[in-house]
Amino acid sequence: MPPEPTARLTFREMDEADLDLLERLLGDPVVMAHYPRPKTRAECADWIAWHRRGYAADGFGLWLLHEDGVFVGECGLTWQAPDGRRDLELGYHLLPEAQGRGLATEAALACRAHAEARGVRRLIAVVAPDNAPSRRVAERAGLAWERRTTMHARTVDVLAADLG
């Protein structure tokens, strides 16, 4: 079940019919500037399948975000294991035209509340060291810098929050 709607956003599970939306998002070089490269269509299909497995196994994954019925990105919760420690990550990607309006923070706060309501005790964000906008979203969601590490052959910062 996705998070409750916010003042501006609704969340829903992605499915195979959303491939064009995900390709538009994850294939965008601006959105993927802090990744090795934009995702291919096949990688976007794999992305959807990964999140579908997460919904089935855990009840969460990244959910599609809509503002007034218009697709603007994705935000949600996925398992990650930087340094071999399995933690629940708060992740988000927004289309370039949706960035800079506080939507990522709004979505991240809703996902944090969703995690807390389900008894999650710890939440992380994995952020490229030079991705200041993503770092600010994580910090506004209450996460603080914990460590720098390597994950998937990239240097990343891990921000974290103990939820109780």
* CATH code for the domain of 26: 3.40.630.30
- Domain extent at residue 114: 9-162
Mean per-residue pLDDT, 102-126: 97
Global confidence as pTM: 0.95
| pLDDT tens-place string over residues 26-84 | 999 999 999 999 999 999 999 999 999 999 999 999 999 999 999 999 999 999 999 88
For the chain, the domain total comes to 1
pLDDT of 4-33, one tens digit each? Answer: 999 999 999 999 999 999 999 999 999 999
The residue with tokens 């794999």 is 46
For 120-126, what is the mean pLDDT? Answer: 97
Residue 2 domain-assigned?
no
